Structure 1
Amino acid sequence: MDSSSSPLTFAIVGCGSISPTHAKALRALPPADARLTHCCDINTTLAEAFAKQFDLKIASFEELLADPAIDVLTFCTPSGLHASLGARALAAGKHVVIEKPMEITAAACEPLIAAQRAAGCKLAIISQHRFDPSSQQVRGAIDRGELGSLVLAEARVPWHRSQEYYDSGDWRGTWALDGGGCLMNQGVHTVDLLLWLAGPVKTVYAQMRTAAHERIEVEDVVTATLTFANGAIGNLMATTSAYPGFPAYLGLHGTQGSAVIEGDELHLLAIKGRDTIHGKTATAHALQVATGGTKSATANASAIPATAPADGAWAWGDAHREQFADFIRAVRTDGTPLVDGVAGRAAVALINAVYESARTGRVIILAD
């Protein structure tokens, strides 16, 4: 297929709680850009319900790999399956989109990157908050040097998940398939934004606990002190035990200005010599995710529009749509997706370092 002009044909692998957001985001794109035709899940009940909801054909994973009409597989499977499945798809000549996190360890990310480079296909990791207007505005200010030299970064994810959430799937809360708890599963988006906006982390010192949930192997509260390669220091906190759940927060403070993103909104942008921008504190969907998870935000979401709203009111799924659009541009122009495999691995590597520090009580130095 000539992907430079024809629509890319997508199939979704894994029909769990995040898959409807992928489906709605793809269907919101112009038909000339994307077609969603198939789904796949080892749970036939889930696959049948999902296929009925979105008028899709059901196929096995092997059938998807062998079908020359399918250009892209987007993976919504448990995290610990991403490398094995994604690498097979890349080797079969498919472009691949993977829901966060990329994998459960940085080492497990390597086969995906190697397979992508060998195949010459495109690989993207869902980290949709890079596409939020607030994130784009802050990144622009940083690129223009308007915050001066960064001195402090603060990242907080004070969310809540019920015991029922962890009990809803036997893979949840396991090291083998979830890869971690509140930081790997819930906090990875904020970790990615932190790295994208503040730059690489040099050292980590962390502590973690399983404080408020039963029948899970992983942490539900973690805190870390960070030093960045640019000389800044920072802190990172995540939990799923902060009832009733509060919006994620990212604060960046420099010698010439500060920026605060809270609940996906630009809460504050203060630059020396200019009027301070005061914005909202959180989107409705950010509050829903903080208190009830993706399922809550998806259940309360309306149809995703084809373009960003003129009034700037960002809704659940808009950022996913923009990330898929970025991925399609990369395929058509032979470019690099904004969140490629290298970026996806960086977020996982920082989280792995947090876990290693918490387990050993040592300061961990990250590789360059």
Structure 2
Amino acid sequence: MIRYGIIGCGHIAKKHKKAIDDVDGAKLVRVCDKDPDKLTHFTEQGVSGSTDVMEILTSPDVDVVNICTPSGLHADLTVRAAEQGKHIVVEKPMALTLTDAVRMVQACDHHGVQLSVVHPNRFRPAIRALRCRVEEGAFGTFSHANATVRWNRDQEYYDQASWRGTRRMDGGVLMNQAIHNLDLLLWMMGEVEKVSSFHSTRLRNIETEDTSVSILTFKNGALGVVEAAVTLYPRNLEESLSLFGETGTAVVGGPTANWIQAWKFADMTDGETEAVMRRVNDNPYGIPGHHCLIQDMTEAVQKGSRPLVTGEDGMRALSLAVACQRSAETGQSVYIDDLLEEFVGKEGEMK
């Protein structure tokens, strides 16, 4: 039995609890939040609760710590958990700076613990089907790709908590809302060479950007567009991932990227295409992504293997977000390798 503790008992922590409860071999034993009222949901169900984070970090009955706090707190808590020998599941984004992301990965490597970053959208049926087509080479040579997040987060959303919309704790639309789509784009298309970005704070009274548009050049020569905004009226409109190649076209979209909207490949008949779309779109949510991640971490700890979504994976998505923000702030294109060399040596060893 792998025993879990959750730090931060806000909305997302309830998803973690359900995932842990539903996974064989996993058990939630402790939760922590500085606000005692937020512990009630968990303690009423028999889970031990505390306002002192060290009670979880030093507890001998906790194997894995799930960090569900505001994003700006992820790094310090991850390092402290690693120092206590705890494996870690950290919510997205793993950090708000590459300095912090490097600290997290280094600490986990040094103390021999596993680090998994919560990018649950990888487990959606449509995304899994898309990944299979990429691995099979069904697109041929890629021409370009689009990652789009057109959502609504109104001013009331930001006013609910003082950390939302801040640079120190939230990070903006790229870090907070679009980071999952950036992860999927990289997972499908491979590494980015350079970015040219523009962002703005158009409609929300916040410190960070609420609208962002970026042009990417991938190392494979393909081009890309990232559009992310929380300014859509009056509600979420679209989250989509579109891939285009010489022998394939695919669009996964909807209000969230759960439905296949276009699926055309040279090696598939119309009947085969319809069968795939029907299979996915009849059950677009599948097994919840948090369930898949907890099951994966449970097995990784039991077997001593690496989790499917690693700290390095989380850092790739973060690197792209940071590069987009830096380009927008400086008005210059940013080369990802140059950015990473500030934190990671040319041979891949972290500084």
* % identity of equivalent residues: 35
Cα distance in 1 for partners of 2:226, 2:203 equals 19
Task: Report if the CA contact (8 A) 2:75-2:103 is conserved.
Answer: yes
Task: Report if the CA contact (8 A) 2:138-2:267 is conserved.
Answer: no
Q: In structure 2, which of residues 215, 219, 224 is the aligned counterpart of residue 225 of structure 1?
A: 215
Worse-superposed segment, 124-133 or 62-71: 62-71
What are the superposed Cα offsets for residues 71-126 of structure 1, whole Å, 9 maximum, x if unpaired?
01001001111110111101101000001000001121011101111111110000
Q: Which residue of the partner structure matches residue 138 of structure 2? A: 146
Q: Does 1:10 align with 2:4?
A: yes
Task: Report if the CA contact (8 A) 2:147-2:226 is conserved.
Answer: yes
Cα distance in 1 for partners of 2:250, 2:58 equals 48
The alignment partner of 1:157 has SS state of strand
Q: Which residue of the partner structure matches residue 178 of structure 2? A: 187
AA aligned to 2:230 is T
Q: Does 1:257 align with 2:227?
A: no
TM-score, with structure 2 as normaliser? 0.90
Cα distance in 1 for partners of 2:285, 2:137 equals 26
Task: Report if the CA contact (8 A) 2:210-2:229 is conserved.
Answer: yes
Cα distance in 1 for partners of 2:73, 2:266 equals 47
Q: Per the alignment, do residues 355 and 336 of structure 1 end up closer, same or farther by CA in structure 2, a change over 3 Å counting?
A: same
Q: Which residue of the partner structure matches residue 242 of structure 1? A: 232
Superposed counterparts of 1:226-305, under 5 Å: 226-243=216-233, 244-262=235-253, 263-276=257-270, 277=273, 279=277
AA aligned to 1:17 is H
Task: Report if the CA contact (8 A) 1:106-1:346 is conserved.
Answer: no
Worse-superposed segment, 337-346 or 55-64: 55-64
Cα distance in 1 for partners of 2:93, 2:39 equals 22
Q: Per the alignment, do residues 185 and 38 of structure 1 end up closer, same or farther by CA in structure 2, a change over 3 Å counting?
A: same
Cα distance in 1 for partners of 2:66, 2:336 equals 30
What are the superposed Cα offsets for residues 106-158 of structure 1, whole Å, 9 maximum, x if unpaired?
12101110111111111000000111111111111111111111111101000
Q: Does 1:162 align with 2:132?
A: no
Cα distance in 2 for partners of 1:157, 1:63 equals 39
Task: Report if the CA contact (8 A) 1:153-1:234 is conserved.
Answer: yes
Q: Per the alignment, do residues 240 and 326 of structure 1 end up closer, same or farther by CA in structure 2, a change over 3 Å counting?
A: same
The alignment partner of 2:238 has SS state of coil
What are the superposed Cα offsets for residues 206-257 of structure 1, whole Å, 9 maximum, x if unpaired?
111111112x100110000000011100100000001121130000111111
Cα distance in 1 for partners of 2:120, 2:17 equals 15
Q: Which runs of 5+ in 2 are unaligned?
A: 341-351
How far residue 313 of structure 1 moved from its aligned partner, in angstroms, is 4.7
Q: Does 1:203 align with 2:174?
A: no
Q: Which residue of the partner structure matches residue 99 of structure 2? A: 107
Cα distance in 2 for partners of 1:106, 1:151 equals 29
Q: In structure 2, which of residues 305, 311, 331 is the aligned counterpart of residue 361 of structure 1?
A: 331
Task: Report if the CA contact (8 A) 2:243-2:251 is conserved.
Answer: yes
What are the superposed Cα offsets for residues 290-342 of structure 1, whole Å, 9 maximum, x if unpaired?
xxxxxxxxxxxxxxxxxxxxx74526x71110111111222222221111000
The alignment partner of 1:248 has SS state of strand
Cα distance in 2 for partners of 1:49, 1:113 equals 32
Q: Which residue of the partner structure matches residue 319 of structure 2? A: 349
AA aligned to 1:218 is T
AA aligned to 2:328 is A
Cα distance in 1 for partners of 2:267, 2:55 equals 60
Cα distance in 2 for partners of 1:134, 1:333 equals 29
TM-score, with structure 1 as normaliser? 0.86
Q: Which residue of the partner structure matches residue 300 of structure 1? A: none
Task: Report if the CA contact (8 A) 1:206-1:355 is conserved.
Answer: yes
Q: Does 1:335 align with 2:310?
A: no
Q: Which residue of the partner structure matches residue 86 of structure 1? A: 78
Runs of 4+ aligned structure 1 residues displaced above 6 Å come to: none
Task: Report if the CA contact (8 A) 2:327-2:333 is conserved.
Answer: yes
How many residues align structurally?
A: 328
Q: Which residue of the partner structure matches residue 56 of structure 1? A: 47
